[in-house]
Chains A and B, each alone.
Chain A
Amino acid sequence: MTRNMICIGCPMGCELTVEVEDGKAVSVTGNTCGIGKKYAESEVSSPTRMVTTTIISDKGIPVPVKTRSAVPKDKIFDVVNSIKSAELKLPVKIGDIAVRNVCGTGTDVVVTKDTV
């Protein structure tokens, strides 16, 4: 089976053609770099996405956060809801861990803005 997709690895948005056999990518063409190949391979077997959102801190100020790495696509809403219910005490610095191992994904959620 052939799947066409657009790489989301960077703003170039390469148009990829992926040959899929048994749910696995056997060949990837159209990519400019290694990110495209990796993206296509992951996209056909187990797609993942970075999640960014905010946590309302103890002082009522929203603090932007992100997952340190991409999480399974089908867990995005669980991850967002889990982050939303987390508590965060100010001040925080970029890189501070807000939620450990969010939803058992093995990925921490970290603060992306120094906030006082």
Chain B
Amino acid sequence: MAEHISLAVIGGGPAGMAAAVSAYDSGITDVTIFERENELGGILNQCIHNGFGLHTFKEELTGPEYAGRYIDEVKRRNIRYETGSTVLSVSPDRQITVVSREKGMRIISADAIILSMGCRERPRGALNIPGMRPQGIYSAGTAQKLVNCEGCVIGKEVVILGSGDIGLIMARRMTLEGAHVKAVAELMPYSGGLKRNIVQCLDDYGIPLLLSHTVVDIKGKRRLEGVTVAEVDQSGTPIPGTEEYYECDTLLLSCGLIPENELSLSAGVKINGATNGPVVDDRLETSTDGIFACGNVLHVHDLVDFVSEESSRAGKNAADFIRSCGKTKNEPVIVRVTAGNGVRYTVPNTIDAANASGDIHLRFRVRNVYKGCTIKLISGGSVIYSKKKKIVVPGEMEDIIIKPEMLSSVSGELVAEIEEGAV
């Protein structure tokens, strides 16, 4: 006989904790968080730098402090959490298979499930970098964990490929640890990281950011000896004659994050090709009934504050689902949300216009850097929302709040788009 609980939360990082706390506060107290690491907190534990929590707590915290706030909330409510517990699969009928050292392997059925497994880094194998395969090549987050949580010294002469935030943060971290960071190479003509991180992690330490550059060769038999960096053209192809060799013992890769959705796939959840996360509706429910998704497993966020906020909504919605046995009040009126000109993706993918009770967050990323543009939401030829922006960049997620009353004139489809050049 399978164990049964009301709500299973998979992953005890910022998303899982916020979702569990919110579900609990919405009246569903029979909640268990399953976490494969030995402590709650997720990736925040290795993010020892500050800059977290300005939205949520109105103060600037480090990663472990931000996690600590939510761990306290989980403990204060006596919400169950099982660390060292790995969920192996989730079935479409909401049974999870979980394995841990203490309890062995169990099958647990749940009235609702929250997917909050976060994301993982794009590895070298997915980047098609030519060259040899020596030691000394790390994804930036792995390096971060080794340095900050294990106390390892991983290298002295460093080149970083990719200017995502983790790469920028690690450029500073390695510098403070006594390493020499020679350059950060970025394939795109703009950085994928936050502007503040370019200032305080690169500019402060005189580390050059080479935009439109990539690593075209890796040299070293046992240990990395050096990398060749070259400029790329508009299509991302290296330009012959621009190669420069950097002697180094360490190469960090900060080339994007991929939502970790193996469990979602086992549950039959449909995946959005643009986000690599589940397709969800405005309640953050996936295509499988009673299975919700939030945080970086849904789409990669820039700020943990937005993860917490989104996950609180997922927790509340899962609680509502459990209480109403999955029934909606009114006959659903489904509006498809699509990415129009200049928009790469939207979350959510559908809105139930007949059952929207509170504000709906429409989150999206743009395809390119657009200066002096207008963000528009269009349905059936009429503009239901419009906002002028000085600049929008792919590295920073946009967040539009749709009030339920705005949906009265919406039917069929809602398109989010960027109108260029309209200052």
Contact = CB atoms under 8 A, between A and B. Distances in A.
B45 interface: yes
Contacts of A89: none
A114 to B, nearest CB: 7
Given A8-B196, A49-B204, A62 B149 contact: yes
A53 B200 contact: no
A34 interface: no
Given A64-B48, A66-B62, 10 more contacts: A9-B196, A13-B196, A53-B176, A60-B151, A62-B148, A73-B204, A94-B65, A94-B68, A112-B48, A112-B65
Interface string B182-224: 0000000000001110111000100000000000000000000
Interface in B58-105: 60-65, 68
Given A11-B54, A114-B68, A52 B199 contact: no
A43 to B, nearest CB: 10
A113 B199 contact: no
Nearest to A14: B195
A6 B199 contact: yes
B196 A54 contact: no
Given A54-B148, A64-B64, A66-B50, A80 B303 contact: no
Contacts of B196: 6-11, 13
Interface of A: 5-11, 13, 49-54, 56, 60-62, 64, 66, 73, 76-77, 80, 94, 112-114
A52 B149 contact: no
Contacts of B200: 8, 49
A62 B54 contact: no
Nearest to A113: B64
A18 B68 CA distance: 38
Nearest to B65: A112
Interface of B: 45, 48-51, 54, 60-65, 68, 147-151, 176-177, 194-196, 198-200, 204, 302-303, 396
Most buried by A among B51, B150, B176: B176
A80 B173 CA distance: 11
Contacts of A76: 176, 204
A38 to B, nearest CB: 13
Contact of A62 (B60, B150, B194): B150
A8 B68 contact: no
B48 A50 contact: no
Contacts of B50: 50, 52, 66
Contacts of A10: 51, 54, 60, 196
B148 A64 contact: yes
B404 to A, nearest CB: 28
B178 to A, nearest CB: 9
Contacts of A6: 195-196, 198-199
B194 A112 contact: no
Nearest to B391: A15
A76 B149 CA distance: 21
Nearest to A66: B62
A89 B147 CA distance: 20
Contact of B302 (A9, A11, A62): A11
